[in-house]
Amino acid sequence: MTIMVGLEQKLKIAGHKLTPARLAVVEVLETQHDHLNHNQILDEGRKLYPKLSRATVYRTMDLLVELQLVRPLYLNDPTQRFVSAAGGHHHLVCCKCGETVEFEHCTADPLAQELAEKYGFQIFNHLLEFQGLCIKCH
Amino acid sequence: MTIMVGLEQKLKIAGHKLTPARLAVVEVLETQHDHLNHNQILDEGRKLYPKLSRATVYRTMDLLVELQLVRPLYLNDPTQRFVSAAGGHHHLVCCKCGETVEFEHCTADPLAQELAEKYGFQIFNHLLEFQGLCIKCH
DNA sequence: CTATAATTGAGATATAATCTCATTATGGGC
DNA sequence: GCCCATAATGAGATTATATCTCAATTATAG
Ligand SMILES: [Zn+2]
Ligand SMILES: [Zn+2]
Ligand SMILES: [Zn+2]
Ligand SMILES: [Zn+2]
């Protein structure tokens, strides 16, 4: 999640303690790829800080979600995964084999504007996910 | 999921047996509201067919997903929920209180076309979800 | 009606998420 | 630098969700 820079700063500014456990989690998010789930964050985090506990991973991710630095996402298995909360997230998912392609070009922003006005929402980001069959599966 | 008509027919056409357990699940999907999870389908289904087992609910939903009559979705809790696979699904979700608004107008279709060509996907439907704060939470 | 293969239910098992509570350690105040 | 209040932690128990196993049942074609 290399887009996720300065998580440490942001935690501090928000008045939270910079404990080794949190720093390990944050380090993982900043250096590893996107879409990690709690277990993967735990495993990677323990390489940096072996005492790291599962509960702390869950708690730290809750905190980061609350601060809107990160957001949860489900792909093709029943675990919650995390991506940067900045900007949109765009997937093409194959219903059969689960292959996932990410794409960049997206037309959601004008719509976001419109919806924000219509419903009084303040919109930060979005997920646009297309389901279908990949080239190998049809 | 009142859009979901004729599930029964479609199961039969696809060569699957019309057992009372399946009929109960299908009846629930056709008469209750959207976004039910496995547990809710089980509870409702048992009102129609008390012997209905949890495993059969999971299996039937797997089958309906495979036949692309229904598709899974995660909202603000860790349970898989189901909506009609027809057309798109469009949400505005409040990160704080979880309030979910559904909207209709959507601009994803031209993009779907473009992506289908670019990546060789055959696209059936999509999910467009905006995250933000609802009017009460900001 | 019968044969057969698909389907089922019950419960065991596996995996994911949450909770509890005694212990530890950060960071502000001095 | 030291102390203290309080936030934060870790270990393990608990709960919730999902998957698997297998003997028994049953829908349907013929
Ligand atoms: Zn595929
Ligand atoms: Zn977008
Ligand atoms: Zn919906
Ligand atoms: Zn749409």
In this prediction, residue B2 has a pLDDT band, given cuts at 50, 70 and 90, of low
- Which one is predicted more confidently, A23 or B137? A23
Query: Residue A17 phi/psi, 5° resolution?
Result: -75, 145
Residue B1 — pLDDT band, cuts 50, 70, 90?
low
Residue A1 banded pLDDT, cuts 50, 70, 90: low
Over residues A95-127, the pLDDT tens digits come to 777 788 889 999 999 999 999 999 999 998 899
Predicted TM-score of the model (pTM): 0.86
CA of B30 to the centre of ligand 3 (A): 15
Q: What is the mean pLDDT of residues B29-34?
A: 90
Chain A residue with minimum CA distance to B105 = A111
Mean pLDDT, residues B101-120: 93
Distance B41 CA to ligand 2 centre (A): 33
**pLDDT computed for residue B137 by the predictor:** 80
Instruction: Report pLDDT for A2.
Output: 54
Among residues 37-56 of chain A, which lie with CB inside 8 Å of chain B?
none
**CA nearest to B80 within chain A:** A78
pLDDT of residue B75: 81
| Residues, CB-to-ion distance under 5 Å, ligand 3 | B 102
Confidence at B29, pLDDT banded by 50, 70, 90: very high
Q: Which residues of A touch B98 (CB under 8 A)?
A: none
Q: Report every protein residue that has its C-beta within 5 angstroms of ion ligand 1.
A: A 94, 96-97, 99, 134, 137
For residues A134 and A89, give the distance between their C-alpha atoms in angstroms, rounded to a whole number. 19
The SS3 call for residue A106 is coil
Asked if the C-beta of A67 comes within 8 angstroms of chain B's C-beta atoms, the answer is no
Least confident of A42-46, B36-40, B94-98: B94-98
Distance between alpha carbon B102 and the CA centroid of its chain, in Å? 14
Shortest alpha-carbon distance between residue A11 and chain B (Å): 18
In sequence order, what are the beta bridge partners of A73? A81
pLDDT band at A58; cut points 50, 70, 90 = very high
B98 inside 8 A of chain A by CB:
no
Residue A10 has pLDDT above 80, yes or no: yes
**Coil vs helix vs strand at B136:** coil
Q: Is the CB of B9 under 7 A from strand D?
A: no
Domains and CATH numbers, chain A: 7-84 (1.10.10.10), 87-132 (3.30.1490.190)
pLDDT at B55: 98
